[in-house]
Structure 1
């Protein structure tokens, strides 16, 4: 075994690192590396200024080499050993492959392009200025780099696996949520269908009942007209007969004819017309119920903005009007000319819903305003920018006023008003909570802070804010 190892080492020293064949006319350069004369010439071909060593890349500025007769003699001796070329090549470089372009062993590695090179490849313009090193020195370095990437790759692998598992669980949750939503929607539509079915049956019963009543009235009216017609015929015949009598008989019959004529009363015609019917959906089907459920908030009065004749309760949910003025501190946002107050909360985004109990107050105004209203604000139902409100006046009834003015005629007198602000959509809507109907909607592109606004009027009945807990109870 020792002899074979020594022989293999001797054979390796007798081979050119460029062509991997036995040295032919070996030469040695200053760094100590040996090459075939022709191989070294091929490596330095087309080079003008710098001539690097094909192995260690040490640069030389001229072609400086010397013949090596001792190495040539050693090579000739090794050749006489008669070892098969293919076997020796496998022993010397078992992992090396051949460059397809130059048919030389791939003994070098380019760090920039990450490519295996033969010696001649390393001198091409593509790699000449790159860092090129032997495979034996490049492999350990890049092996360490690969080992350094193992943990980050494992970490990324774990993260991706966790993400996939999380996405899988989310998909399962989504399916469950979608199924729950489907059941919820089906239940809601079933409820709507049942309600509509009941409404349909009730309206049809009313129509049928009214039809029977009208037909009975028409029959009675027809009977009355038939009796009247018979009386007219008898009177006509009697008059025709008497007109042919003598003068004395005609005159004697006039009073009787007049009495019979007075007794004939023409009946009134009856109205053959059905009443108007309409289906009124409750609040939970018109959308108000869903708004209340998702967007109702706790709005409170701001005492710092209340008129001196207004008293705000300790919980800031009720406000009263008094004839006497209170001593109050000056505040730039306080109302001084009309009994009004702002909400404590302000809004710059989102959707918000609040309710106000107006009761039977003869005059009130509810809504929202932009920033601070002027100190001389009088709450007059005129066109006013930056103000969106709905109110009740003794003379004009219900009005929506602000950027535009509109008369409102609610079907049911409201005792409670709902205000819904959708900042992003640019809408302020007013609802009659008593029947769930929409009274009016303002449209505006909001860009500034919005404050709830309340005008109390000058009557003693309070204006109450309805809280979420009050609605739930």
Structure 2
């Protein structure tokens, strides 16, 4: 092995794997690898629990290293050897195979060594040339600049790699925490379900005992009444076979006994409605609101002439006086109007405040929905809606008419459309319960539909938070 190769191997042995330079204050960690103390400190910065080796990734649970004096002395020796090595270069000459002359000239354009005779050949006659010594100085300077650039890039890459390793550990810690968090949340759900299960069973058992106790009392009362009726019947049968004189003598008394006996009231019992009601944090409604909430406002062109719309087009109310508006076949002949956007794909959510309005209808409709009828149809094609038609009566309109009764009277209605899935859902935002879901394969644009009724209380679209929309919309001009 020649001197230059040995020096190169020794230099590699004394090079830090982090900064790619000779060791400065070298230290040794538990796996046996050596690093600059400063480089290792930067690599382990902000780490608390685990300290991995930047080379082999062996982890230590203690921030500890030992100063290596032997490596320090060896590194100093390498530095001393590097200084004179640059002046010990032996002169090496190459011979031109064509002219058998020493190549002492460098062709700048072709970047190759040539001899003096090659200089005047047709190939190199018009090219720029320089002596080998001068060309070597220039190109060494250029190479050194490239080496410095590459060294900087290597250092940056190694620092980035070290940072990525640190981020890997941080990511693992975060996911460990997430797993613990999810496990804790599911344990809380299990405890909640267990307590709800026990509470409901206890409540049902108490109701069962009370019902059976009341029923047993009613059964006893009916049994006593039956016994009394049977005794009266036997007495009447005995009187029926008496002689005429005896029968007529006791007739008044028997009539008094047989007057319509009062039957005790029958027991009627209706069980409570039991069911599981999850708290809001376990409902998917919050995710729907957060991701798909859409800014919605009313369309002026389709509104009935007696509907007054606010300037921000978020509120509408019915008034007896008709407004002066352009006659259009697009206008409804009953107090209804549309939203300003149609939906032909995506998922969207908006919320409407109905308050205590006695009559209202909310939903979606197609362009083919009839608007020239005198009243809103209950059953119609291209129409999907729910509404209130009496103090405690709620109904679905569209493909068919059905009635339903919310547990809590809604004052705010949330509407969620999943166009691709073909679902239109209505939520009671007061108790965050699902009111009704329509399932239909939508094939054309559909519009939000609002019917206010003829009471003076306004219908309001609630202003959403500034969340970007994730559905494809068409807006009326």
8 Å contact from structure 1 (residues 399, 406) kept in 2: yes
Q: CA deviation at 1:215?
A: 0.6
Q: Which residue is equivalent to 1:357?
A: 354
8 Å contact from structure 2 (residues 349, 414) kept in 1: no
Q: How is 1:47-62 mapped onto 2 (pairs within 5 angstroms)?
A: none
CA offset digits 1:87-123 (Å, max 9, x no partner) = xxxxxxxxxxxxxxxxxxxxxxxxxxxxxxxxxxxxx
CA offset digits 1:28-77 (Å, max 9, x no partner) = 985328xxxxxxxxxxxxxxxxxxxxxx999xxxxxxxxxxxxxxxxxxx
User: Structure 1 353/172 Cα, relative in aligned 2: closer, same or farther at 3 Å?
Assistant: farther
8 Å contact from structure 2 (residues 347, 418) kept in 1: yes
CA offset digits 1:296-318 (Å, max 9, x no partner) = 56544344553332112345443
Q: Which residue is equivalent to 2:110?
A: none
* 1:187 is aligned to 2:188: yes
Q: Which residue is equivalent to 2:461?
A: 465
CA distance in structure 1 between the aligned counterparts of 2:341 and 2:420, rounded to whole angstroms:
17
Choose 1 or 2 for highest CA Rg. 1
Relative to the length of structure 2, the TM-score reads 0.55
2:273 pairs with one of 262, 269, 278: 278
CA distance in structure 2 between the aligned counterparts of 1:159 and 1:258, rounded to whole angstroms:
115
8 Å contact from structure 2 (residues 406, 435) kept in 1: no
Q: Which residue is equivalent to 1:454?
A: 450
Q: Which residue is equivalent to 2:385?
A: 389
* 1:228 is aligned to 2:243: no
Q: CA deviation at 1:428?
A: 0.9
8 Å contact from structure 2 (residues 288, 349) kept in 1: no
After superposition, the CA RMSD in angstroms is 4.7
Q: How is 1:274-353 mapped onto 2 (pairs within 5 angstroms)?
A: 275-282=270-277, 284=279, 287=283, 290=286, 294=290, 299-303=296-300, 305-328=302-325, 335-344=331-340, 348-353=345-350
Q: CA deviation at 1:193?
A: 3.7
CA offset digits 1:391-413 (Å, max 9, x no partner) = 3457xx644344x2241322558
Q: How is 1:36-75 mapped onto 2 (pairs within 5 angstroms)?
A: none
Q: CA deviation at 1:461?
A: 3.4
Unaligned 5+ segments in structure 1 are: 1-11, 18-27, 34-55, 59-136, 243-248
Q: Which residue is equivalent to 2:248?
A: 254
Relative to the length of structure 1, the TM-score reads 0.55
Q: How many residues align?
A: 334
Unaligned 5+ segments in structure 2 are: 1-91, 102-112, 116-135, 466-477
CA distance in structure 1 between the aligned counterparts of 2:192 and 2:219, rounded to whole angstroms:
40
CA distance in structure 1 between the aligned counterparts of 2:416 and 2:408, rounded to whole angstroms:
19
Q: CA deviation at 1:375?
A: 6.8
Runs of at least 4 residues of structure 1 off by over 6 A?
Answer: 143-148, 329-332, 371-375
* 3-state DSSP of counterpart to 1:165: helix
